[in-house]
Structure 1
Amino acid sequence: MPHAPQPQPAHELDAAAVRTWSSLAVAALGRAREDIDAINVYPVADADTGTNLYLTAESADHALTAAFEVAARTAVPDVTDATGETSLAEAVRAYAHGALVGARGNSGTILAQLLRGVADVLGDEPAGRGPGRLLAQALTRAAESAYAAVAHPVEGTMLTVATAAARAGEAAGAAAGTAADVARAAYDGARSALAETPGQLAALGRAGVVDAGGCGLVAVLGALFQALSGQEPAAEPVRGRAVPVPQTPEPCASEDGPAYEVVYLLEASDEAVGELRPRLDRLGDSLVVVGGDGLWNVHVHVDDPGAAVEAGVAAGRPYRIRITHFGDERRRARGERTQRAVVALVPGEGLAGLCAEAGATAVLVRPGELPAVPELLDAIRRAHAREVVLLPGAAELRAAAAAAAERARADGVRVAVVPTRSAVQGLAALAVHDPDGSFDEDVVAMTAAAGATRYGELAVAERQSFTSAGICQAGDVLGLIDGDVAVIGAGLPETAEAVLERMLGSGGELVTLVLGPEVPDALAERLEAYVQHGHLAVDTVTYRGGRYSAPLLIGVE
C-alpha cells in the first residue's frame, strides 16, 4: 500500500491538480480498503468493494503517470503545451481511460464512469466558464452518466452519494465559488448522503452499515478537495460493524443469487452496445456497462457465464475476460475466510466455468492473446487468499505466471506455480487440490497429478510445414502429444483415435476429453466407445471447452 502523500499546496484546476488528486485518492482508498471490504453487503456480500475501488484507482493513476511521462519526453501539438507539460484535457482523459480499462467489480466500474463524466466536461474546457463552475458541471455530468450506465439504479448506493455530491457542488458553483469551494461542498454533500444510506437500502439498515461503494467515493472526493485546497480533510471513519452479517439478506446478496461475476472489456459500436444491454439484463443482474468511443467495460452477475461472453462476442470483440464464482467470496464474507486459492489460466469459456465451479479463479486465454502480467496479478489479488496456487496451463504462459507470482509475493501472498502445460493437466491438478492440507503438500500433490497426466491436442494445419511426424498440408488434422506432432491425419475422428491409441499404449486409468465449440457430441460418443472397446479398465469423462478452445484436448492419467 502506498504511503499517503502530504497535503499539497492549493492548485488551480489544472493537470497538476488532477495528478495530485489521483495520488491522494489511491492513498486514501489504500488506507480504507480493508474497512470498506468489511462493510460490503450490497449488491453481493463478497467483501471486495474496497479492494476493487483501490485497484481501479491504481489503474487510473498508472495511466495518468504514463501520460505525464510521455508528455515530458516530447511535446505533441493539441495534447501538450510548448514545454511538454500535460494539459488538463489530456490529464483527465488519461485518468478516465485508465480507470475504464482497469475497473474492478461493480463499484470500480461505476467509479470509472464517474471519472469519464468528469473527463467529458473538463476535457472540453470551453471558454467563458470559471474553474468552479466547470468542476460543478463535471460532477453533475459524472453522476448523470453513472446513473445511465447502471441497468437498474438503486437508491442508498454509490449513485445516491454521487448525486448528492453533484448537487452540493452545483450550489457552490452557482454562488461563484472557486474549484476548491466546489470540491469542499461536494465532499460535505457526499458525507451527509453516505450517512443516510442505511435508511434508504434495507440490506444496509439490517447490517448496520453505510454503503461500501459510497464510502469509497467519499474518500475519492476528499482527495479532490485536498488536491485543490491544500487542506487535509478529516479522516472519514467507516461506520458500521467490522464484519456485517445481515439477518435477512437481500435476494441479490443471498445464496440464491447469480453464481458468477463476468467482466470484460469490449470493442463495439454504440449501436451494438445498445442491443447488448437488454440481452445481458435478461441473463442476470447488477448490470453495468460503461465507456464510449468504441471501448466499453462490461460487468454483470449471471448463472451462465458462457452466455454473457457470447453476448459480448455478438456485439463486438470482448477481451480481458474475467469469470469469478461467488461461492468462496460469500463464505469469506460470512467470516469463513479461505486460506488458499487456485488461479487457473484456461483456453475456453467452458473450461473457465468448470474451473470456477471447482472454486478456482479462472482467467480466460484467447488464441493469440497472451495475458499480461498485471492481468494475472489482478487475478491473484481477486482470489483474496494468503496462499495461491497458480496453474499457467501452457508452456508459453509460464514466464508471465512466474513474473505475476513474484510481484504477488512482494505483496505478502505466498504463491506457487504448478508448471501445467495444458488445460487437462490443470484439471488433474484441481482434482487433487486439498485446501485444508499444508501448502507444501498441496502443491506437491497438484504438481504430481499434473506431471502424471499426458496431454494431447488436435488442431488443423493452416499451411504446409515440416513437423516431427513429417510434412503436413494446409487442412490436415494434426495430433499433438505432449506438445509435439505425433499424427497427421485427414479427419478429426480417425486422428483422435490414433492419438488415443498412442497415449494409452503406456497405460492409463482415466481419459479426459475436452471438446471444442464446433465438435459434435457424436465424436465424444465414438471416442468413449473406442476407449471402452480397447481398454476396459479405463474410464472416460467428457467436457465442453466452449468458445476459444481447441477442437479437442485429451488427457490420460
Structure 2
Amino acid sequence: MQTKVAANAQAMKRWLGKAETALGNHSDRLNAINIFPVADGDTGTNLYLTVRAAARALHNNGPGQINTGQTNTGQVSTGQAEAGPTDVGAVLASAGQAAMEQARGNSGTLFSVFLCAAAEPLVGHTRLTSTLLAAALNRAQIRAWSALSDPVPGTMLSVMEAAARAAAAVDSGQNGDDSNHALGLALDAAVEGALAAVIRTEGQLEALQAAHVVDAGGVGMLLILDCLRSAVLGQELQSELLDGLHGYDVQDPHIHNDMPDDDGVEVMCTISLSPLNAATLRQRLDEIGESVIMSQVGAGSDTDGNYRWRVHVHVPDPDPAVRLIRSLGDPSHITVSELALPRDPEADPVNSNGYER
C-alpha cells in the first residue's frame, strides 16, 4: 500500500470525479450486457449521467459552497455549510442530493440512494476511517434495498451488500484501529467482496444465466467502489478487475439487440408528500407498475410536514401513473422514457407523449 492516503472531503470529490470518468469509459460495455430488469441497454449511460451529476455538483459549488439539504420550505439550500467544506458527510450529502434530483433509470436511482445514505454516518467527520466506512456502506446498502418495493438479489443491491459485509468483517477485527492501514484493508475487502458478488449474479438471475452474462448494474457498482479505493489510497484503478467477467469482453455484442422490445415506459419525478401520501403512492404504483423505487430526498420536512421524494416506476402507459402522482402532490422534473429505446442524453428532451425525457 502506498503511504499517500487522503481520506478527507477532497478525496470524496476525487472519488466521484474518477467514477464519472470510469463509467464514461465503460458505459458501452455496461449497456451491452444490460438485460435486467429491462433489456434496454442503458444501465451504463444511466449510471454515468447520474454520477456525473453528483461529481459536477461538487465541482461547481467549490470551496465553502456545500449544499447541506433543505430549508424549512422544503427547497434545496446552497450556501456556507455549518461544518465547512472539510466535512466528509456534508460533501457526500451535497453530491447525493444532486444525483437524486437528476437520477437516471433503476441503476442511477439506486446509486443516488446509496450515496445519500452513505453520507449520513459521515456527517461531522473530516476523515474517513475503517469504522466509518463500514457504517456508511452498511447504511447505504440497507437504504437501497428498502427503496425498492420488490428488491431482487443478483443485482447491484447484492454487490452493495457484499461490499458492506466485507468492510464490516475487516473493521471488526481491527479493534477500533482508525489508522490509514486499517482503512486500506477495509477498502480492499469491500472491492474484493463486490467483485465476488458480481460474479455470483450470473447464477442468481435466470435471465443473466441464460444470456451468460453478469449484472450490468453490479459491474457499475464495482467500478464505483474501486474508484473510491483509488481516490482514498492514492493508487491506480485495478485494470484487471473486470477481466474474465462473462459478457464483458470488447468483442461481445450488445446482447439485448436480439431480444424482444420491452413494452411500456419509465416514469420518474420528484415530489413533496406527507408520509401517508408517500405510502399511498408506493402502494398504488405497485398495483399498476413494476420496478417501483421511492426514496426520500434530504432529511427535513417543509412547514406542512411534507418530505421530498424521488419516484421511479415502469408502467405500460404513462398517463395513469402521472395522473396518480399529480393527485397526491405537485411533482417536478417529470420524465417519461420508452423502455424499448436506449436513452440518448443528446436526444430531443421531449418524447412523443409530450413529457420530458
Whether 1:316 and 2:329 are equivalent positions in the alignment is yes
Per-residue deviation at 1:102? 1.3
Counterpart-to-counterpart distance in 2, 1:230 and 1:247: 39
Given residue 313 of structure 1, which amino acid in structure 2 is its aligned partner? R
Task: Give the deviation of 1:51 after TM superposition.
Answer: 0.5
Change beyond 3 A, Cα 1:209–1:8: farther
1:230 is the counterpart of 2:234: yes
Pair 1:36 & 2:30 matched: yes
Partner of 1:19: 13
1:213 is the counterpart of 2:217: yes
- Cα deviation for residue 151 of structure 1 reads 0.8
Are the aligned partners of 1:60 and 1:95 in contact in 2 as well (CA < 8 Å)? yes
Residues 344 and 96 (structure 1 numbering): CA distance in 2 closer, same or farther, change over 3 Å?
A: closer
Preserved CA contact (<8 Å) 1:266 1:318: yes
**Are the counterparts in 2 of residues 67 and 91 from structure 1 also a CA contact under 8 Å?**
no
Distance 1:193 1:107, change over 3 A: same
1:24 corresponds to which letter in structure 2?
K
**Max Rg structure:** 1
Amino acid at match of 1:240: H
Q: Secondary structure at the match of 1:45?
A: coil
8 Å CA contact retained: 2:318, 2:336: yes
Structure 1 partner of 2:46: 52
1:243 corresponding residue in structure 2: 253
Amino acid at match of 2:223: A
Secondary structure of the corresponding residue to residue 237 of structure 2: coil
Task: Give the structure 2 partner of residue 158 of structure 1.
Answer: 156
Q: Does 1:174 align with 2:172?
A: yes
Task: Report the counterpart of residue 453 of structure 1 in structure 2.
Answer: none
Cα distance in structure 1, aligned partners of 2:88 and 2:41: 35
- TM-superposed CA distance for 1:75, in Å, is 8.9
Offset of 1:125 from its aligned partner?
4.3
Q: Which residue of 2 aligns with 1:517?
A: none
Structure 2, unmatched stretches of 5+, are 67-77, 300-306
Q: Deviations over 1:184-212 (max 9, x none)?
A: 11111000110111111010011111100
Paired residues, number: 324
* Displacement after TM superposition at 1:69 (Å): 4.1
Task: Give the match's secondary structure for 2:226.
Answer: helix
Matched, 1:326 2:339: yes
Please tell me the root mean square deviation across aligned C-alpha atoms, in Å. Answer: 2.8
* 1:138 Cα deviation after fit: 0.6
Identity %: 34
Runs of 4+ in 1 over 4 A off after TM superposition: 246-249
Question: Of Structure 1 and Structure 2, which has the larger fraction of its residues in strand?
Answer: 1
Verify the 8 A CA contact 2:162 2:197 in the aligned structure 1: yes
Normalising by structure 2, what TM-score?
A: 0.83
Q: Which moved more, 1:317-326 or 1:105-114?
A: 317-326
1:262 to 258, 267, 274: 267
Matched, 1:199 2:203: yes
Structure 1 residues 233, 103: CA separation in 2 closer, same or farther (over 3 Å shift)? Answer: same
Q: 1:245, 1:206 → 2: CA distance?
A: 11
Contact 2:89/2:121, CA 8 A, preserved across alignment = no
Q: Distance in 2 between matches of 1:271 and 1:17?
A: 39
Which of 167, 190, 193 is the matching residue for 1:189?
Answer: 193
1: CA distance, partners of 2:140 / 2:199: 21
CA distance change for structure 1 residues 44 and 87 in 2, over 3 Å: closer, same or farther?
A: same
Any conservation in 2 of the 1:203–1:246 contact (CA below 8 Å)?
no
CA positional deviation for 1:89? 2.7
Alignment correspondent of 1:478: none
- For residues 321-355 of structure 1, give each alpha carbon's deviation from its aligned partner in whole angstroms, at most 9, with x where no partner exists: 111122344xx9xxxxx9xx97364xxxxxx6xx2
- Paired residue secondary structure (1:321): strand
The CA distance in 2 between the partners of 1:34 and 1:248, in whole Å, is 17
Deviation at 1:246, TM superposition (A): 7.0
Which of 62, 66, 84 is matched with 1:68 structurally? Answer: 62
Amino acid corresponding to residue 11 of structure 1 in structure 2: A
